[in-house]
Amino acid sequence: MSIAANISAIKEELGNSEVKLIAVSKTKPVESIIEAYGTGQRIFGENMVQELVDKYEKLPKDIEWHLIGHLQSNKVKYIAPFISMIHSVDSIKLLQEINKQAVKNNRVIDCLLQIYIADEDTKYGLDFSEAIELLRSEEFAALKNIRIRGVMGIATLTDNQRMIREEFYELKTFFSGLKETFFRRDSHFNEISMGMSGDYKIAIEQGSTMIRLGSTLFGTRSKK
Ligand SMILES: *Cc1c(COP(=O)(O)O)cnc(C)c1O
């Protein structure tokens, strides 16, 4: 199927739900993004800063770019002028740098805390206690140019549906706890970014508000 057909199939599946589709275009050429853009898709996700900046420069300026991959502090400055959301905040140090660059650009940058939910050692993210510690810290309270919009998580890569369901359930439950404790009066804390091509149906069932789909829309990626 074409990219356009893939997107409309997913849009149809989402129907009237509030779930937002992040089209993960990493490793794919700008032509593929233009095809997706032609269907009305405006939110795209990338995981490498250089690639993201290159694509940003070449493509229409009403695209909302989301960074979904691990971000090094020294690269924040390249995306700070235009990034719509950073899904992968995993330390106070990174958040401080995002805030600093946001100040320089006279804007507020939306961020998600990446929470470690998988049963794998290789994934980035904060565990539950680290996330709470971050939100309680004085360093965090001082940051005025970032806005925490919610959480992001990546489930274990497994065929075990029950395990994936449990991980997403835990993330949703953790989100609700954070909302109650830290963001009770903040209506902007409302996003749960979970679900990829292999597990987005379970993620939606468990309360995802943003699914990040790459291969389902653009076809499989060749390994680098
Ligand atoms: C690559 C990637 C995706 C999309 O993966 P697919 O399985 O191709 O849908 C989603 N989220 C993150 C963080 C990614 O790195």
Q: What is the pLDDT of residue 123?
A: 66
Q: Cα-atom radius of gyration of the chain, to the nearest Å?
A: 17
* pTM score, whole prediction: 0.97
Q: Which residue is closest in CA terms to ligand 1's atom 13? A: 68
Is the minimum distance from the CB of 25 to ligand 1 under 6 angstroms?
no
Residue 215 Cα: closest atom of ligand 1: 8
Q: What is the pLDDT of residue 122?
A: 66
CA distance 41 to 8: 10
Task: Assign domain 3-218 to a CATH class.
Answer: alpha beta
Residue 196 Cα: closest atom of ligand 1: 9
> How do residues 112-137 score in pLDDT, each as one tens digit?
999 999 988 766 899 999 999 999 99
Residue 221 Cα: closest atom of ligand 1: 8
> How do residues 52-88 score in pLDDT, each as one tens digit?
999 999 999 999 999 999 999 999 999 999 999 999 9
- 222 pairs with which residues across the strands? none
* E strand or H helix at 192: strand 191-193
Is the minimum distance from the CB of 198 to ligand 1 under 6 angstroms?
yes
pLDDT exceeds cutoff 90 at 6: yes
pLDDT exceeds cutoff 60 at 224: no
Is the minimum distance from the CB of 24 to ligand 1 under 6 angstroms?
yes
DSSP state of 220: P
For CA atoms 66, 198, 224, 27, give the dihedral sign.
negative
Q: Which residue is closest in CA terms to ligand 1's atom 4? A: 214
Is the minimum distance from the CB of 213 to ligand 1 under 6 angstroms?
yes
Backbone torsion region of residue 11, taken as left when φ is above 0, otherwise alpha when ψ lies between -120 and 50, otherwise beta? alpha
> How do residues 85-111 score in pLDDT, each as one tens digit?
999 999 999 999 999 999 999 999 999
Is the minimum distance from the CB of 212 to ligand 1 under 6 angstroms?
yes
Q: Which residue is closest in CA terms to ligand 1's atom 5? A: 214
Is the minimum distance from the CB of 47 to ligand 1 under 6 angstroms?
yes
Domain extents for the chain? 3-218
Residue 216 Cα: closest atom of ligand 1: 9
Is the minimum distance from the CB of 216 to ligand 1 under 6 angstroms?
yes
CA distance 182 to 185: 8
Q: Which residue is closest in CA terms to ligand 1's atom 11? A: 212
Is the minimum distance from the CB of 193 to ligand 1 under 6 angstroms?
no
